[in-house]
Structure 1
Amino acid sequence: MKSIFNTEAYQEILSRIDQLSESSERQWGKMQVGQMLHHCQYPLKIGLGRHNPKNKPSLMLKVMGKFFKKSLYNDKPWKQNLPTAKSFKVEDDKDFTAEKEILLGLIRDFHQEKDKKEWDPHPAFGSFTPEQWGQMQYKHLDHHLRQFGV
């Protein structure tokens, strides 16, 4: 599985984001491109310790999370139209240019943590190894970039 900590995968993600424009059309789902760019910031902020979801995960989500935790960082691409966690939903319009710059900055910041050995647990899924954190971030970004055809 590719990882955002790998320089080639990191550069690939940045290049794919640069291919997006305000007029990029989604292939599936409900988000517009600016909303997607905003949505993709949440997992990076959680990993960087810059976002604590308002809604704490329910006991059911924590239990269910154990069953699909591996799908967050394995090689199998996520299916289209998977449900979005309530605290990650973006329903208001977002400025494409501003959201793109913020996302690129967060990706750079996350990539710079590639040598970090200890990570705080994810609020819903618990502990991940550093390798799994990098794979999970790549997989989420890849999923949404495919959503917009890049």
Structure 2
Amino acid sequence: MPHFDSDYVELLMRRLGRIAPDAVPRWGTLRRDTLIEHLMWVVLHSMGRSDQMAFQGNWLTRRLLAPLILNGWVPIPKNLPIPKKDRARGVTLRCPGGLDDLRALLEEYLNLVQADEFHPAPHPLFGDIGVDGWDKMHLRHFEHHLRQFGV
């Protein structure tokens, strides 16, 4: 698996750019624009700069599910719903923006990590996964959605 670095960001941008605005995903209801907004939200969330979701995890998600997903032994499930609590609070898991905004955000994220100034927020299910955990999570999450659109 690649590392979440500048080379990966360039590859990600090229692959996202190949998704037509009207592309129909293999599963789910996302479209290209809402996918980009969703990816932005997740990165912002990892940086502690989004609508924070209530922690939904427990011992099982932190100790068993997290390593299985983060290490790629189990794929990210498709069509995960927003928890009712968070939906009621208006959490949409999206942040307005386009491809250029996502690129700028990812560059900012990487700069913070490289400067050792990134202070990650807890994952909503896995809890405190640290910088390395978010690195793995972002890679798995991006690849999950790229597969969703066949790129």
TM-score of Structure 1 vs Structure 2, range by shorter chain: 0.7 to 0.9
Query: Which of 70, 75, 78 in structure 1 is aligned with 2:75?
Result: 78
Report the CA distance between 1:10 and its aligned residue. Answer: 2.5
Counterpart in the other structure of 1:135: 136
> Which whole-Å CA distance do the structure 1 matches of 2:92 and 2:51 have between them?
15
Task: Please say if 1:69 is aligned against 2:66.
Answer: yes
Q: Which has the higher contact order (CA 8 A, sep 6+)?
A: 1
Q: Cα 1:44–1:72, aligned 2, differ >3 Å: closer, same or farther? A: farther
Task: Report the identity percentage.
Answer: 16
Task: Output one character per residue of 1:79-130: Cα deviation in whole Å (capped at 9) or x when no partner.
Answer: 5624133356569xx98xx433332222222222332276334152222232
Q: Cα 1:45–1:72, aligned 2, differ >3 Å: closer, same or farther? A: farther
- Tell me how large the CA RMSD over aligned residues is: 2.8
Contact 2:13 2:99 in 1 (8 A): no
Stretches of structure 2 lacking an aligned partner (at least 5 in a row): none
Contact 2:40 2:102 in 1 (8 A): yes
Report the CA distance between 1:148 and its aligned residue. Answer: 0.9
> Which whole-Å CA distance do the structure 2 matches of 1:8 and 1:136 have between them?
17
Q: Cα 1:13–1:81, aligned 2, differ >3 Å: closer, same or farther? A: same
Counterpart in the other structure of 1:103: 102
Q: Cα 1:71–1:109, aligned 2, differ >3 Å: closer, same or farther? A: farther
TM-score, with length taken from structure 1? 0.75
Stretches of structure 1 lacking an aligned partner (at least 5 in a row): none
> Which whole-Å CA distance do the structure 1 matches of 2:77 and 2:59 have between them?
23
> Which whole-Å CA distance do the structure 2 matches of 1:28 and 1:80 have between them?
11
> Which whole-Å CA distance do the structure 1 matches of 2:43 and 2:103 have between them?
11
How many residues were matched structurally?
142
Superposed, 1:13-28 pairs within 5 Å as: 13-28=12-27
Counterpart in the other structure of 2:119: 119
TM-score, with length taken from structure 2? 0.74
> Which whole-Å CA distance do the structure 2 matches of 1:7 and 1:20 have between them?
21
Match of 2:122, as an amino acid? Answer: H
Report the CA distance between 1:140 and its aligned residue. Answer: 0.6
